[in-house]
């Protein structure tokens, strides 16, 4: 039986037609449980109705016409309970609803189970029999096994088909899709899908005896793509900073890579068409990248696919027909590459939507530089039905609204204008102090990763840099940057902010951050080799970086060093040996070294608990809320199965941070908070109440946080914190903080992204 079930799952996953998949399931269940009828109902995205989508035993004409409202009928009972429902004399049940179109007057025995996917109710599977039939434990076990195994397969089939749209075509309500924010902002526009025909997955296997001609065709396509990349790079030079501009160089390097070119040419010589050889080569390269299970490396797999699509586009149709981009263009696609972005007139491009990708995708990085919203990883967006339709892109929380109704569109236009007014008001705070109504002064520092962020963060009135992520420059390099290269970057940052302090975190790789030239393959990278552990195991990397930082600090003196991922006291002691070694070495070379203050990240619960002991060895501490939350709650926020459980406002997170702040105060230790929590309008209030007076966040968050600080007394934030710490549910805490912000007239800060 298990083999039969697994075979059914395999067939469902690998079918291109959702109707075929659903029909296979109902027919298999009807036969194996031996009932008169088996039916699948899927939940409508907007109306929440359960709609009959497949049946074996009922009139097939009922498909698409039998609909249950939430909680209505026996099928609605199953959905409402999200659990098993077994009934006998079912037609006599008060919730029973008869649909004449099904062709069945009555039935006795009913068994229904929900189709669940990541806590999301997709629909219901129901079996029933006209005559009385006792459902055995084996019957129920089979149905449970099938529903649990097939829910993900059904979800995947829905995601890759247009079925969800086709069952909604008579519904003019707004379709809402949620995913990951790639770049902040809120905009409405018309969706445009470029290069629709350049789909590598659609390339069929073709063979040829004229391999020489296919080689020439392929190399001509490569030459044309190289030219296209150069032109695109020039078109974007005016709008993006140099380090983002360097992403085009990544494309050029990939295009010239021997593993790509030789892989295609070898397959052509074996007798394959150029397009077929290209597809197989790209598939192999992408598969290799994906086995590394790393967000940054996966983003580079996107680049490989982008290059493959560009070459295929040239193989298929030369330069292709020019696209008439609307003035309010929103680019959509599985993945949007750099040249597709560059092809849109700058003033016309308003947003980006990718069905795949992450915050590390080049499309997200460029969108951030251009100041337009981007939403990544919208896996259930049916692209084939989106071109030319209207959408609202909410880059604050990663949300898309397709075909918004007049009312919805009008409301979002109001929000967009409200956001513009809010930003204008926030800009007026630039030169005002971040000070509570009762006079408590707060330092608002910025987090940066690339040099292009310096100007924008200074414009918002940052007091300094609370976190400079040095790993970003390593990620944009083709090899470990030399001491002189690192020195030049660090010197620019320190000089730009002098005399304000700049906290530079030493190279923090591992987890979801990796380097293309220093690959880390682990079963669980977040609990593995990362942060200070790598640096101590590779002192040659650590020493080079320390030398560059200390030299960059000469005659400036605003450098502060931060150690990442510290979990043991001996890691601090071991680091100090190299620290002292480099200082003495540079002094011997004749450099006038100013010894910077040394701090550690409190992002592992072990460090939070041992804070007082560690405080004897360092000068300051910074609470890294992103990882601390992740480790405390045992939640990988990049894992779709559990990401919804990740929340800064979890009572345990708040209580641990409060303990960290109290312990730091008792030993007179300077402590700040950084990460997304520091820039969240809601979480700022309890953090203030804990007594924190130094925050580090994305530059764009500083004006909003300053606005909140200037509208509360410190005493009131303490009261709010005390009330929150008595609450036990995240949603209860969120609702309470939202209410407080609304009452203060600060609701615009949360409405823009919620």
Residue numbers annotated as active site? 362, 674
Dmax (CA) for the chain in angstroms is 96
Number of residues in the chain: 754
Is residue 562 within 8 Å of 601, Cβ to Cβ?
yes
SS (H, E, C) 291-351: CCCCHHHHHHHHHHHHHHHHHHHHHHHCCCCCCCCCCCEEEEECCCCHHHHHHCCCCCEEE
| Residue 334 vs residues 150, 174, 194, 305, 352: alpha-carbon distances, Å | 24, 22, 10, 10, 11
| Vertex 115: Cα angle to 113 and 121 (nearest 5) | 115
> Are 753 and 396 in contact, with CB atoms under 8 Å apart?
yes
Residues 6+ away with beta carbon under 8 Å from 450: 241, 243, 244, 472, 473, 476
The three-class DSSP label of residue 536 is helix
Collapsing DSSP to helix, strand or coil, 84 comes out as coil
Cβ(399)–Cβ(178) below 8 Å: yes
Instruction: State both tokens at 733.
Output: 């805490």
Helix H or strand E segment including 38: strand 37-43
Q: ∠ CA(10), CA(13), CA(19), 5° rounding?
A: 115
d(CA 433, CA 461): 9
How far from 303 is each of 193, 300, 574, CA to CA, in Å?
Answer: 18, 5, 39
Secondary structure (DSSP) of 583-634: HHHHHHTT--PPPPEEEEEE-SHHHHHTHHHHGGG-SEEEEEHHHHHHHHHT
Computed on alpha carbons and rounded to an integer, the radius of gyration of the chain in Å comes to 29
CA atoms within 13 A on the CB side of 283: 12
- Establish whether the linkage from the previous residue to 499 is cis, with ω within 30° of 0: yes
Q: Which residues contact 305 (CB under 8 A, 6 or more apart)?
A: 200, 282, 286, 335
- DSSP state letter for 109: E
What is the Cα–Cα distance from 114 to 121, expressed in whole angstroms? 7
């Amino acid at each position: 039986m298990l083999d039969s079930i697994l075979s059914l799952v395999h067939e469902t996953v690998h079918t291109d037609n959702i109707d075929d998949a659903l029909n296979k399931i109902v027919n298999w269940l009807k036969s194996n449980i031996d009932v008169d009828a088996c039916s699948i109902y899927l939940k409508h995205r907007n109306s929440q109705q359960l709609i009959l989508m497949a049946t074996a035993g009922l009139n097939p004409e009922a498909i698409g016409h039998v609909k249950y409202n939430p909680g209505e009928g026996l099928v609605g009972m199953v959905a409402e309970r999200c659990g098993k429902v077994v009934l006998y004399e079912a037609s006599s049940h008060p919730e029973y609803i008869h649909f004449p179109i099904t062709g069945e007057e009555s039935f006795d025995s009913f068994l229904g189970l929900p189709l669940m996917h990541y806590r999301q109710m997709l629909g219901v599977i129901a079996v029933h029999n006209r005559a009385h039939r006792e459902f055995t434990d084996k019957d129920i076990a089979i149905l449970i096994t099938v529903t649990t195994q097939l829910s993900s397969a059904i979800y995947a089939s829905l995601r890759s088909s247009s079925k969800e749209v086709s069952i909604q075509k008579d519904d003019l309500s707004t379709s809402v899709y949620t995913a990951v924010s790639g770049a902040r902002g809120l905009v409405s526009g018309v969706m445009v899908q470029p290069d629709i025909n350049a789909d590598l997955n659609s390339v069929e296997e073709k063979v040829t005896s004229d391999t020489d001609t296919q080689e020439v065709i392929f190399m001509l396509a490569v030459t044309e793509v190289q030219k296209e990349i150069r032109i695109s790079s020039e078109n974007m030079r005016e709008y993006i900073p140099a380090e983002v501009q360097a992403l085009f160089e990544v494309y050029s390097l990939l295009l010239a890579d021997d593993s790509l070119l030789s892989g295609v040419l070898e397959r052509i010589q074996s007798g394959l068409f150029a397009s077929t050889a290209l597809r197989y080569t790209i598939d192999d390269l992408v598969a290799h990248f994906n086995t590394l299970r790393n967000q940054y490396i996966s983003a580079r797999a996107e680049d490989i696919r982008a290059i493959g699509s560009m070459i295929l586009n040239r193989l298929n149709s030369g330069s292709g027909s020019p696209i008439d981009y609307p003035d309010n263009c929103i680019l959509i696609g599985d993945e949007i590459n750099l040249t597709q972005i560059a092809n849109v007139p700058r003033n016309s491009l308003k947003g980006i939507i990718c069905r795949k990708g992450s915050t590390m995708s080049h499309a997200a990085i460029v969108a951030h530089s251009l100041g337009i919203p981007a939403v990544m990883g919208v896996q259930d967006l049916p692209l084939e039905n989106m071109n030319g339709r209207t959408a609202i892109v909410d880059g604050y929380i990663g949300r898309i609204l397709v075909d918004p109704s007049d009312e919805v569109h009008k409301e979002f236009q109001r929000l967009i204008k409200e956001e513009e007014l809010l930003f204008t008001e926030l800009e007026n705070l630039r030169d005002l102090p971040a000070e509570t109504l009762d006079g408590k002064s707060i330092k608002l520092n910025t987090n940066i990763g690339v040099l292009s962020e310096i100007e924008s963060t200074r414009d918002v009135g940052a007091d300094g840099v609370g976190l400079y992520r040095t790993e970003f420059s390593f990620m944009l390099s083709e090899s470990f940057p030399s001491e002189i290269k690192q020195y030049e970057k660090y010197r620019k940052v320190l000089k730009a902010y002098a005399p304000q302090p700049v906290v530079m975190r030493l190279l923090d790789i591992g987890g979801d951050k990796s380097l293309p030239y220093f690959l880390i393959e682990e079963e669980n990278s977040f609990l593995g080799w990362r942060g200070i552990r790598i640096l101590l195991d590779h002192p040659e990397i650590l020493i080079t970086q320390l030398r560059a930082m200390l030299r960059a600090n000469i005659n400036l003196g605003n450098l502060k060093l931060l150690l990442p991922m510290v979990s043991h006291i001996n890691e601090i002691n071991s680091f100090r040996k190299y620290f002292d070694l480099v200082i003495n070495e540079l002094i011997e070379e004749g450099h006038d070294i100013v010894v910077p203050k040394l701090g550690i990240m409190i992002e592992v619960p072990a460090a939070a608990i041992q804070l007082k002991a560690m405080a004897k060895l360092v000068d300051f501490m910074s609470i890294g809320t992103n990882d601390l939350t992740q480790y405390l709650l045992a939640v990988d926020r990049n894992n779709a199965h559990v990401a919804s459980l990740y929340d800064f406002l979890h009572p345990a997170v708040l209580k641990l941070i409060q303990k960290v702040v109290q312990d730091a105060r008792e030993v007179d230790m300077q402590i700040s908070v950084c990460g997304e929590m520091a820039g969240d309008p809601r979480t700022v209030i309890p953090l203030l109440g804990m007594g924190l007076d130094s925050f580090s966040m994305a530059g764009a968050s500083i004006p909003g946080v300053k606005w909140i600080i200037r509208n509360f007394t410190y005493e009131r934030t303490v009261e709010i914190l005390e009330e929150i710490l008595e609450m036990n549910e995240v949603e209860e805490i969120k609702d309470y903080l939202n209410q407080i912000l609304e009452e203060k007239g600060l609701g615009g800060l949360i409405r823009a992204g919620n």
